[in-house]
Chain A
Amino acid sequence: MYPFEYVRPASVEEAIGLRRADAGAQWLAGGMTLLPSMKLRLAAPSQLIDLTDVEGLDEWSIGDEHIVLGSMSSHRRVAEADEVRTRIQALSTVAAGIGDPQVRNRGTLGGSIANNDPAADYPAALLGLGATIRTSQREISADEFFKDFFETVLEDDELVVAVSFPVPRRAAYLKFRTPGSRYALVGVMVAETRDGVRVAVTGAGPGVYRATQLETALAEDFRPEALVGLDMSPDGLNADMHGSPEYRAHLTGVLARRATAQAIACEN
């Protein structure tokens, strides 16, 4: 790692002030991506603003229609919370499947979505469930939030404070893991929300996206059978040592059918 300064603010305002004063600074949440990136010298921030002590970022508000989870919530906390599982089982599944136990002990919701790794799980959860991201400045829908490869609409001095998830009628998340990294080769969130059916896909393309073709079919008939014969296009999907675009396109269809069946089987 290159040397850096380290600060530990106590409030959102203080954290933003520090960020504005140093264009090379970065937020440090769980550090499960940032620290390895710094060790590889892929990132070299001049300053790390550790968010551990920032007041309010671990607060939750649980309602029947929405659950709001603070950005510093660890994956383990989300995975193990009864109040999450009983309302959005699929969200528990997402959190419980990230990385490994030690990574889940440390990694955070806000860190994951701000990083927007094209194979991360949480972006699919937020996009599939139609979540809203609350930042220090505004509220952003998941549809707008995730832009492209490791890119979001967040400004440099904008901090993710919490995420509000609407409780769906039924939803399920399935991923086909790359065994080495435990990232999704392809992951699919299928949700029947109050505003319609949503299908979000991670791992397959350069960033998380909605599979509108599958959404349309499921909106008419929410059964796995409705997706049979819908061939996903491999155009624009990722090609790497783990799988071809054609393979990822095929997996997307398979996982969407299985997730639909699972959503039906364990309705919330």
Chain B
Amino acid sequence: MIPLQLKVNGEPVAAEIEPATLLVELLRDQLGLTGTHVGCDTSQCGCCVVHVDGVALKSCTLLAISAQGSDVVTIEGLATGATLHPMQKAFHECHALQCGYCTPGMIMSAVALLERNPDPNEAEVREGLEGNLCRCTGYHNIVRAVLAAAAEMRGG
């Protein structure tokens, strides 16, 4: 077992883990943060995307020990109390989810996309979400939601 210390959604976390523990396993099984989903478990689908030191990564393909000392943000860390993050609100308002399985990863990828490009066009949104698969929506409303959130976050 290896001692691990990191921050998750702003809170310091200390855990004892096996080296083979994946970050998503730490989050879901040890910390009970089940908002981060496991879809394909092969880094294709993007359900498990979280931010590690501000960078969007697939937590099913990252050793938890690699996040030693890092600042991890999951879907649970986006809202402020009862106030949804603008991206969560836009997904809700634009009907950007059906079954909801891909949604946490989709939202985390979309937030990271806007941090790098606050004013993307539709093509840039689609390209930015290439690592996230959705089997319900056909993506159209997801793209609409990201564009709406971008406008709101720019204050437009």
Contacts and interface: CB of A to CB of B under 8 A. Distances in A.
Contacts, number: 67
A100 B20 contact: no
B115 to A, nearest CB: 12
B62 A106 contact: yes
A35 B24 CA distance: 13
Q: Which of the listed residues A101, A105, A181, A182 has the most CB atoms from chain B within 10 Å of its own CB?
A: A101
Nearest to B20: A1
B61 to A, nearest CB: 5
B42 A52 contact: no
B56 interface: yes
Given A35-B62, A101-B130, A101-B131, A48 B57 contact: no
A100 B129 CA distance: 8
B56 A102 contact: yes
Interface in A39-90: 39, 48, 50, 52
B43 interface: yes
Interface in B115-131: 128, 130-131
Contact of B131 (A31, A39, A52, A102): A102
Given A3-B19, A39-B41, A180-B44, A105 B65 contact: no
Given A6-B63, A32-B61, A103 B19 contact: no
A35 B18 contact: no
Contact of B65 (A6, A36, A103, A181): A6
Interface string B64-91: 0110000000000000000000000000
B49 interface: yes
B99 interface: no
Nearest to B18: A3
A100 B61 contact: no
B44 A106 contact: no
Contacts of A48: 19, 63
Contact of A36 (B43, B55, B109, B112): B43
A149 interface: no
A50 B131 contact: no
B58 A102 contact: yes
A121 to B, nearest CB: 15
A130 interface: no
A48 B113 CA distance: 31
Interface in B18-63: 18-20, 22, 41-44, 46, 49, 55-58, 61-63
B109 A4 contact: no
Contacts of B128: 101
Contacts of A100: 46, 130-131
Nearest to A40: B42
21 contacts: A3-B19, A4-B19, A5-B19, A6-B19, A32-B61, A35-B22, A36-B42, A36-B43, A48-B19, A50-B65, A50-B66, A52-B66, A99-B131, A101-B109, A101-B128, A101-B131, A102-B43, A102-B49, A106-B55, A106-B61, A181-B44
Given A101-B113, A102-B46, 14 more contacts: A3-B19, A6-B2, A28-B63, A32-B43, A35-B22, A35-B61, A48-B63, A50-B65, A101-B109, A103-B131, A105-B55, A105-B57, A106-B57, A181-B44
Interface of B: 2, 18-20, 22, 41-44, 46, 49, 55-58, 61-63, 65-66, 109, 112-113, 128, 130-131
Interface of A: 1-6, 28, 31-32, 35-36, 38-39, 48, 50, 52, 99-103, 105-106, 180-182
